[in-house]
A and B are shown apart, each in its own frame.
Chain A
Amino acid sequence: MPENPIFVSFCHPSINQVFLTLPKNNVLPSTSDFGVHHETALTACQINTCNEPGYLSTSANRSDIDAQTSSERHPFLTSQKYYYHLVIQPDDTNYRIFVDFALWSFPHDHFPPSWVRATPIDDAGFGGSGWTDIIRIKQRDLNCRISNWVDNKSTARIVPADQMKWVCHLPLALADIVTNPFSQMQTNGMVVYAARADEGFLHADSRNLFALRWDIFSI
Chain B
Amino acid sequence: MVVPPDGRMVTYFIGPIRESAALYHNKPFDSSNLSHEFLFARFAWAILKRARAIFKFYSTADRKTFNLKTADAASLDEEEEVMGPDDGDGDEPVDPQRKPGVAGRQKKKRKRPDSLVSKDPAAREAHELDEDLAKAKRVASFFRMSLKPFLPS
Q: How large, as a class, is the contact surface on chain A?
A: 35 or more
B-chain residues with CB within 8 Å of residue A132 when the two chains form the complex = 96
Contacting pair B54 A18 (CB below 8 A):
yes
Contacts of B21 in A (CB 8 A): 1, 5, 25
Interface residues of B, count at CB 8 A: 76
A88 within 8 A of B: no
CA distance A48 to B55 in the complex (A): 12
Known interface pairs A122-B33, A140-B33, A156-B91; A214-B69 also in contact (CB < 8 Å) = no
Is the pair B38, A47 in contact by a Cβ cutoff of 8 Å?
A: no
CB of A67 within 8 Å of the partner chain: no
Residues of B within 8 A of A3 (CB): 18
Give the A-B contact count at a CB cut-off of 8 A: 225
Bound together, the chains give a CA A133 to CA B151 distance in angstroms of: 44
A121 in contact with B35 (CB, 8 Å): yes
A154 partner, pick from B25, B47, B93, beta carbons under 8 A? B93
Within A141-183, the residues touching B (CB, 8 Å) are 145-147, 154-164
B16, B27, B43, B58: the one contacting A47 at CB < 8 Å is B43
Instruction: Give the most central of B89, B103, B138: most A CB within 10 Å.
Output: B103
> A86 on the interface (CB 8 Å rule)?
no
Which of chain B's residues have a CB closer than 8 A to the CB of A97? Answer: 51, 66-69
Q: Is the CB of A115 within 8 A of B91?
A: no
Cβ contacts under 8 Å, B20 to chain A: 216, 219
Q: Which residues of A contact B42 (CB under 8 A)?
A: 158-160
Contact of A206 (CB < 8 Å), options: B33, B40, B58, B69: B33
Name the one of A50, A140, A157 contacting B91, with C-beta atoms under 8 angstroms: A157
Residues of A with C-beta under 8 A to B133: none
Contact A217:B48 (CB < 8 A) given known A97-B67, A103-B70, A145-B30: no
> Would you call A194 an interface residue if the criterion is a C-beta within 8 Å of the partner chain's C-beta atoms?
yes
Which single member of A92, A112, A161 contacts B104 (CB below 8 Å)?
A161
Q: Which of B7, B52, B100 contacts A99 (CB 8 A)?
A: B52
A1-B22, A101-B48, A217-B85 known; A15+B65 contact, CB < 8 A? yes
Asked whether A19 lies within 8 Å of B96 as measured between CB atoms, the reply is no
Task: Kindly state whether residue A123 has any CB partner on chain B within 8 Å.
Answer: yes
CB distance from A154 to the nearest CB of B (A): 4
CB within 8 Å for A99 and B55 given contacts A17-B62, A218-B135: yes
Q: Which of B11, B76, B85, B104 has the most CB of A within 10 A?
A: B104
Distance in angstroms from B12 CB to nearest chain A CB is: 6
Among residues 12 to 71 in chain B, which have CB atoms less than 8 Å away from a CB atom of chain A?
Answer: 12-18, 20-27, 29-45, 47-52, 54-55, 58, 62, 65-71
Instruction: Type the 1/0 row for A71-108, where 1 means its CB is closer than 8 Å to any CB of B.
Output: 00000000000000000000010111111111110100
Spell out A's residues near B (CB within 8 Å): 1, 3, 5, 12, 15, 17-23, 25-26, 37, 39-40, 43-44, 47-48, 50, 92, 94-104, 106, 111-112, 114-117, 121-123, 131-132, 134-135, 140, 145-147, 154-164, 190, 193-194, 200, 203-204, 206-210, 212, 214-219
Task: For the A-B complex with A103-B69, A117-B31 known, give 13 more contacts whose Cβ atoms are closer than 8 Å.
Answer: A1-B18, A21-B54, A25-B21, A40-B3, A97-B67, A98-B69, A100-B70, A100-B71, A117-B36, A154-B94, A158-B35, A161-B104, A218-B85
Q: What are 11 A-B interface contacts by the 8 Å CB criterion? A: A5-B18, A20-B51, A26-B26, A37-B5, A92-B67, A146-B27, A155-B94, A158-B38, A161-B105, A207-B38, A218-B90
